[in-house]
């Protein structure tokens, strides 16, 4: 079905309700196109209405029954649903639907509920079957579901949901706690394209995480945003997602056939945040580390692309910081602008991704292809007052991976139970890296400002020829260093006593962040 050619209202027996539509809604059957079949729809036990649609030659055909609508499909959301019903994938079924639903709600509709059901095999649905189908689309058991929940600062809750089954589509949009104000409606409308972008990303092949717009919600209007999804990929596999953002935290959890990822960002300690330039530099550094880990561990690229996108979205566009007056009263231990030169500038976070293990060698099933990567930052502000305080910021990362590789470059690897295919290298990777920054003051005097970094790598390789283990090698690499930046920060605290000049001092201070950011590879620590 690519459109709605005509609409025939079917009146239900009030004593035999079907589904849970609003009080003014009546199920509606939309007739098929000219070449569509005869269809019969059963509503209730005693009311049976048949709609016969004839072909151009005047004969009845025997294909699908006409779609059944929960209520008259005369709005933009229904037109989108009718156009999408012919699609087979989640991407085609949900195309444009989230944006249309959110825009219609923002346009003054307080509650929206619609479903369209296409019975299969030409057999019409009876009342019980129709009730079950509608209930599934408006419940929590649909094969594929996407929901968005927004809480307003005025105490209202806005909930939107989209559901997809093989036989139909369902949407709902509810506002609880009162009518939306014009400002709230306008802010809601601005999220329409971002909501649709997230849907399009989740239903893409391979899936993508496009969450940037949802982290940039209008914090003057909304206090929290939640997105959840359950998408049926095939008869065996499902992709799930849970996203949350408010002024205190952000988080993403995703699970699917290729693996799982988890990220959380702590926004409560805004005092540690750097300026936009510093944040961007730190983010780019971490994204390079993620790319390096992906390459070194031979990770699943689509999975790591989602991890990368989620990391970027959650660590960008932080909420506006508190006013200076509030900071002075609440954050007596807060870092000064001078201190922040030795911090990353990012909010504290933890992030991990784990790829689904694959036994790609039937001759040695215990040799699995794996990938697991973790990275985090935590900051502690300690002390009695602004004159006696300390700052500790830790960064940690670890990579554990294993994979098979062809024995010779350019050779195609295809492992089977045949010994002639068993010519390969099996790698085991184990890397760790850490960076600790420590800044301390006593009686208003700076007493310590240092950065300690360490990194280790272990690469183990087993070589097999014709299924026989020929050799095993292990290459460990490690490095560590500690640097003091006490003199540099002292100069920044007393620029009038700096002989090198203000311009040179600024250049030195701006370069300190490079010394702080976590390095994944030991060789770089020697520089």
Q: How far apart are CA 172 and CA 142, in angstroms?
A: 13
Q: Which long-range contacts (CB under 8 A, 24 or more apart) does 491-500 make?
A: 492/338, 492/341, 493/338, 493/446
Angle (deg, nearest 10), helices 192-202 and 182-190: 30
List for the chain the helix, strand, coil content (%; round to 5).
25, 35, 35
Q: Please check whether residue 502 lies inside any domain of the structure.
A: yes
pLDDT tens digits, one per residue of 174-201 = 999 999 999 999 999 999 999 999 999 9
DSSP state of 54: B
- pLDDT score, position 121: 66
Q: What is the DSSP string of 176-212?
A: ESSPPPHHHHHHHHHTHHHHHHHHHHHTSSS-----H
| Distance, CA of 506 to CA of 516 (rounded, Å) | 17
CA of residue 341 relative to chain centroid, distance = 31
Alpha-carbon distance of 59 to 510, in angstroms, equals 81
What distance in Å separates the CA atoms of residue 28 and residue 16, rounded to the nearest whole number?
A: 15
pLDDT tens for 428-477 read 999 999 999 999 999 999 999 999 999 999 999 999 999 999 999 999 99
- pLDDT greater than 50 at residue 414: yes
Task: List pLDDT tens digits, range 84-122.
Answer: 999 999 999 999 999 999 999 999 877 899 999 987 766
CA atoms of 374 and 396, how far apart (whole Å): 8
Cα gap 24→29, rounded to integer Å: 16
pLDDT confidence of residue 319: 86
For residue 506, being part of any structural domain is answered with yes
Q: CA–CA distance from 513 to each of 78, 342, 378, 508 (Å)?
A: 53, 6, 16, 10
pLDDT in tens, 252-272: 999 999 999 999 999 999 999
411: buried, middle or exposed (CB in 10 Å: 19+, 13-18, 0-12)?
exposed
Q: How big is the chain, counted in residues? A: 527
Which residue would you say has higher pLDDT here, 321 or 180?
A: 180
Q: Is residue 308 part of a domain?
A: yes
Q: Distance between CA atoms of 101 and 77, rounded to whole angstroms? A: 6
| Residues contacting 492, CB < 8 A, separation 6+ | 338, 341, 505, 509
> What is the C-alpha separation between 350 and 332, in angstroms, rounded?
26
287 alpha-carbon distance from chain centroid? 16
User: Is residue 240 included in any domain, yes or no?
Assistant: no
Span 4-25, pLDDT tens digits: 333 333 333 333 333 333 334 4
Predicted local distance difference test score (pLDDT) of residue 272: 95
pLDDT at 54 over 70: no
In a domain, 484, yes or no: yes
H/E element holding 132? helix 127-137
151 has pLDDT over 70: yes
What confidence tens digit (pLDDT) does each residue in 473-501 have?
A: 999 999 999 999 998 888 888 776 666 56
336-365 residue pLDDT tens: 988 999 999 999 999 999 999 999 999 999
Q: Tell me which residue range forms the domain holding 290.
A: 270-527
Within a domain: 512: yes
Tell me what pLDDT residue 314 has.
97
**Mean of all residue pLDDT scores within the chain:** 85
**Coil/strand/helix, residue 70:** coil
pLDDT surpasses 80 at 232: yes
Q: What is the mean pLDDT of residues 49-68?
A: 48
pLDDT for the residue numbered 131: 87
Q: Give percent of the chain above pLDDT 70.
A: 82
pLDDT of the residue at 223: 96
pLDDT of residue 522: 62
User: Is 386 within 8 Å of 335 (Cβ atoms)?
Assistant: no
What is the distance between the alpha carbons of residues 252 and 160, in angstroms, rounded to a whole number? 19
Confidence of residue 409 (pLDDT cuts 50, 70, 90): confident
Q: Structurally, how many domains does the chain consist of?
A: 1
**Residue 190: alpha-carbon gap to chain centroid:** 20
Q: Kindly report, residue by residue over 357-401, the tens digit of the pLDDT.
A: 999 999 999 999 999 999 999 999 999 999 999 999 999 999 999
DSSP, residue by residue, 257-295: TTEEEEEEEE-S-GGG---HHHHHHHHHHHHHHHHHHHH
Residue 515 lies in a domain: yes
Asked if 105 contacts 159 with a C-beta cutoff of 8 angstroms, the reply is: no
In a domain, 146, yes or no: no
């Amino acid at each position: 079905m690519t459109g709605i050619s005509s609409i025939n209202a079917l009146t239900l027996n009030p004593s035999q309700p079907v589904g849970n539509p609003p009080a003014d809604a009546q199920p509606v059957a939309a007739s098929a196109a000219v070449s569509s079949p005869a269809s019969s729809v059963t509503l209730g036990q005693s009311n049976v209405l048949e709609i016969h649609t004839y072909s151009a030659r005047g004969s009845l055909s025997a294909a699908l029954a006409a779609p059944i609508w929960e209520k008259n499909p005369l709005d933009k959301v229904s037109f989108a649903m009718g156009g999408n019903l012919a699609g087979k994938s989640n991407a085609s079924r949900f195309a444009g639907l989230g944006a249309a639903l959110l825009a219609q709600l923002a346009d003054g509709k307080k509650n929206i509920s619609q479903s369209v059901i296409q019975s299969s095999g030409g057999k019409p649905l009876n009342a019980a079957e129709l009730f079950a189908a509608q209930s599934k689309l408006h419940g929590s058991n649909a094969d594929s579901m996407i929901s968005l929940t927004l809480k307003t600062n005025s105490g209202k809750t806005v909930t939107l949901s989209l559901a997809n089954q093989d036989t139909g589509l369902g949407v709902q949009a509810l506002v609880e706690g009162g009518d939306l104000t014009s400002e709230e409606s306008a802010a809601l409308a601005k999220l329409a394209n971002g909501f649709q972008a997230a849907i399009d990303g989740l239903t893409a092949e391979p899936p993508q995480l496009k969450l940037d717009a949802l982290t940039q919600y209008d914090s003057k209007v909304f206090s929290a945003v939640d997105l959840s999804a359950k998408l049926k990929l095939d008869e065996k596999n499902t992709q799930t997602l849970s996203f949350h953002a408010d002024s205190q935290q952000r988080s993403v959890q995703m699970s699917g056939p290729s693996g799982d990822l988890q990220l959380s960002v702590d926004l409560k300690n805004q005092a540690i945040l750097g300026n936009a330039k510093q944040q961007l530099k730190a983010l780019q550094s971490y994204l390079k580390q993620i790319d390096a880990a992906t390459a070194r561990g031979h990770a699943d690229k689509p999975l790591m692309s989602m991890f990368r996108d989620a990391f970027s979205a959650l660590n960008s566009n932080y909420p506006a910081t508190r006013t200076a007056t509030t900071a002075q009263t609440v954050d007596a231990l807060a870092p000064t602008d001078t201190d922040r030169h030795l911090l990353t500038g990012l909010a504290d976070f933890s992030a991990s991704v784990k790829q689904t293990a694959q036994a790609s060698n039937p001759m040695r099933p215990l040799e699995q292809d794996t990938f697991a990567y973790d990275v985090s930052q935590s900051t502690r502000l300690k002390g009695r007052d602004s004159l006696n305080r300390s700052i500790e910021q830790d960064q940690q990362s670890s990579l554990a991976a294993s994979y098979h590789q062809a024995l010779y470059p350019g050779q195609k690897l295809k492992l089977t139970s045949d010994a002639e295919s068993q010519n390969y290298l099996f790698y085991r990777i184990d890397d760790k890296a850490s960076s600790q920054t420590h800044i301390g003051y006593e009686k208003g005097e700076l007493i310590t400002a240092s950065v300690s970094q360490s990194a280790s790598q272990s690469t183990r390789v087993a070589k097999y020829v014709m299924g026989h283990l020929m050799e095993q090698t292990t290459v460990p690499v490690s490095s560590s260093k500690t640097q003091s930046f006490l003199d540099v920060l002292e100069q920044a605290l007393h620029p009038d006593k700096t002989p090198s000049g203000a311009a040179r001092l600024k250049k030195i201070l701006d370069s300190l962040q490079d010394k702080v950011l976590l390095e994944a590879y030991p060789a770089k620590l020697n520089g």
